[in-house]
Structure 1
């Protein structure tokens, strides 16, 4: 095998590294924790041409599965070409650059794979395995064999890599895996923090950071997770979906309305149990967690959901977070208990439509996908309509039991653009 940080390189790992911005720095502490999800840095590499060549050497190592010794040959050529005077010995410096970038890109790629909702249903737990590094850390050895749900907040700060030279790993496991290995799912561990001073040799001066015990400063984050968080669409603050208007014709009186779509009207509503309506008067956090749980996500851990046509939607807390205040807003008053129907519209729509909207204020075009579903909920006198729309500019949704929502005119007004999918009868 060409590399030792994990298995052979894979696409998510390669894509993660290739999407980084090359950022010149003077000291390792110039950027910190999740900033490494976005930036490629080498401490002391302040010339852009030097940094670009170092980036190329690391990228080749990741994409081609090259060994440390092969990387060192490329590193020597870069150093000679630029006359770079770096700190530390060659062996130590090359190992840090090679090992940290390969391990963290590997870990970020695995984190992305672990966000697959179907995979999380089959393997909902994370297993911590100590990596048998040259200088084992007592805390890391103590965490060996720890099994926690993947959405446990402990993983937010303790997903490997957890320090310089750390070779610990995190694996997805099923209930059967846990039993077969003689392990058990633990309660979320308490996290004890300590203050540490970093940047003592930085031109910016030292500063104090607070990190969990056993984690080296700068490693107290889950690699790649910030990218998912930033990819969660916010609630759209403008151009709301059209609401049903009072006085619209009912389905019965509008049954003879000419169909403007070659596929005819929407498929008939599907039956849904009464339990798809959540209890009234839950806390906003509870409503949000119930919605996110439908996609294998949680408030602490976004997830990637792929719809019926294969497009990705990143689901996380930020769906319900107000941009200005940071407070939760789970829906319009009285509609939060219908959130599971909104989740059903995204997971199993009657139809999916796509269209391009020109946003004059932003002077740009955005692509929006609209998921439409109707349900006959047990105990409810009229069908429920659920519409989820997502695009480059955010998302919006409708859930309603309004009789007017079942009118042919209103339903036709929602079917805009090009239809990508229609559910069978």
Structure 2
């Protein structure tokens, strides 16, 4: 049986869902509250191909009004195709993915409709209506019948959906509607906050969030509001790598993923032999050959490298060629000697982080994966830091020998977004 959302799927609902970008995660707490306006996630789905197929199954039911049983058939096919070992019982897991995505995309689409200035002039009030949940929450029942101006701040945290399985809804009213239904405008219910610990079983560890009483953690936002507020949400400025970048780094702003404190320190630097530094004075062709050889690629034959999470990165000559001329640009920035350390960051990272960024020029969001590693190279007085970053728009990488490679404050600027991987401490290269 299909979920009753109040109407068949509609343009604003479908557009909202299509505007999301697939973001790999390890736990549901990795992406939180309004971040879902920008990211499509399935907790524990860290491989892009798996996530893309799961997104297709969800988009199919959103666009067509498909049933839970229809979604479950597609879910089973995706799981079998990718060999995904997910947590939780199938019935609960599929219902959670299905209902949450359908309800929140519906609610976000309704919020987009209610943002129309002309419509708001005629119908300036919002009405909270409790749903038909089998086990109603007392606070949600208490909010039933609340009428407030649509610009009242109460709606910013209490616009449905307000918890897992919540079926409450928000409707627009005119002054005549209020009078005819014998309703009263305001005052807003008193908002009390409480601290809740989430992510106790998350690979990235627990954290404390502050939410209004009666609202489940992660639901204390108005669906779609961050998109309506600004085409480019000003959550924080783009956080660059330590040096000017080539390739991927056009003007960008991180979206949806606040710079929360990274969980724990980076693993200690690993020892690396001196021959991981290439000789000086080689030609670009020789540097290229050495780097590609680390992945089994050649100048004429790219290789598909699978990282430690199982995700794929294509390694080939085009990583080091000019998009305009096709000429090699390996040693242009003066770091060709450290190319093997850059390869090591990709092959054997200390951590992998993933995040969304908004590209001004293309007017779209992209996903970037950042591989971070630190090494104590034999014969070098200070540690080496190697960072390899890849996204749909290109790649960038830096290597640097600097005391900052051990500076916790400096390193925290690199560790942003969702952490997908952390290596065990210790070991040598």
Classify the TM-score, shorter chain: 0.5 to 0.7
2:82 corresponding residue in structure 1: 82
1:345 corresponding residue in structure 2: none
User: Could you say what secondary structure the match of 1:194 adopts?
Assistant: strand
Q: How far does residue 188 in structure 1 lie from its aligned partner after superposition?
A: 2.4
2:135 corresponding residue in structure 1: 135
2:27 corresponding residue in structure 1: 27
Task: Tell me if structure 2 keeps the 8 A contact 1:123–1:172.
Answer: yes
The answer to whether residue 230 in structure 2 is matched with residue 227 in structure 1 is no
2:94 corresponding residue in structure 1: 94
Task: Tell me if structure 1 keeps the 8 A contact 2:143–2:189.
Answer: no
**Aligned alpha-carbon RMSD (Å):** 2.2
User: Could you say what secondary structure the match of 2:171 adopts?
Assistant: strand
2:149 corresponding residue in structure 1: 149
Q: How far does residue 174 in structure 1 lie from its aligned partner after superposition?
A: 0.8
Cα distance in 1 for partners of 2:57, 2:362 equals: 38
Q: How far does residue 53 in structure 1 lie from its aligned partner after superposition?
A: 0.6
Q: How far does residue 140 in structure 1 lie from its aligned partner after superposition?
A: 0.3
Cα distance in 2 for partners of 1:47, 1:136 equals: 37
Task: Tell me if structure 1 keeps the 8 A contact 2:3–2:99.
Answer: no
Which residues of structure 2 form unaligned runs of 5+? 235-358, 364-429
User: Could you say what secondary structure the match of 1:4 adopts?
Assistant: coil
User: Could you say what secondary structure the match of 1:166 adopts?
Assistant: coil
Q: What is the count of residue pairs matched by the alignment? A: 239
Q: How far does residue 233 in structure 1 lie from its aligned partner after superposition?
A: 10
1:374 corresponding residue in structure 2: none
Tell me: CA distance 1:364–1:182, structure 2 relative to 1, closer, same or farther (3 Å).
closer
Stretch of structure 1 that moved more, 61-70 or 78-87: 78-87
Task: Tell me if structure 2 keeps the 8 A contact 1:5–1:99.
Answer: no
1:5 corresponding residue in structure 2: 5
2:59 corresponding residue in structure 1: 59
Cα distance in 2 for partners of 1:233, 1:222 equals: 15
The answer to whether residue 120 in structure 2 is matched with residue 120 in structure 1 is yes
Tell me: CA distance 1:55–1:152, structure 2 relative to 1, closer, same or farther (3 Å).
same
1:16 corresponding residue in structure 2: 16
Task: Tell me if structure 2 keeps the 8 A contact 1:200–1:206.
Answer: yes
The answer to whether residue 149 in structure 2 is matched with residue 182 in structure 1 is no
Aligned positions of 1:239-318 closer than 5 A: none
Q: How far does residue 176 in structure 1 lie from its aligned partner after superposition?
A: 1.2
The answer to whether residue 34 in structure 2 is matched with residue 46 in structure 1 is no
Q: How far does residue 365 in structure 1 lie from its aligned partner after superposition?
A: 12
Cα distance in 1 for partners of 2:175, 2:110 equals: 20
Q: How far does residue 12 in structure 1 lie from its aligned partner after superposition?
A: 0.4
Cα distance in 2 for partners of 1:152, 1:14 equals: 27
Tell me: CA distance 1:192–1:10, structure 2 relative to 1, closer, same or farther (3 Å).
same
Report the TM-score when normalising by structure 2. Answer: 0.54
Cα distance in 2 for partners of 1:133, 1:365 equals: 43
Task: Tell me if structure 1 keeps the 8 A contact 2:197–2:206.
Answer: yes
Cα distance in 2 for partners of 1:127, 1:138 equals: 18
Q: How far does residue 10 in structure 1 lie from its aligned partner after superposition?
A: 0.3
The answer to whether residue 193 in structure 2 is matched with residue 165 in structure 1 is no
1:208 corresponding residue in structure 2: 208
Report the TM-score when normalising by structure 1. Answer: 0.54
Task: Tell me if structure 2 keeps the 8 A contact 1:6–1:103.
Answer: no
Q: For each residue in 1:296-330, what CA deviation from the matched residue of structure 2 results, as whole angstroms up to 9, or x when unmatched?
A: xxxxxxxxxxxxxxxxxxxxxxxxxxxxxxxxxxx
Cα distance in 2 for partners of 1:83, 1:365 equals: 35
Tell me: CA distance 1:363–1:69, structure 2 relative to 1, closer, same or farther (3 Å).
closer
Task: Tell me if structure 1 keeps the 8 A contact 2:12–2:112.
Answer: yes
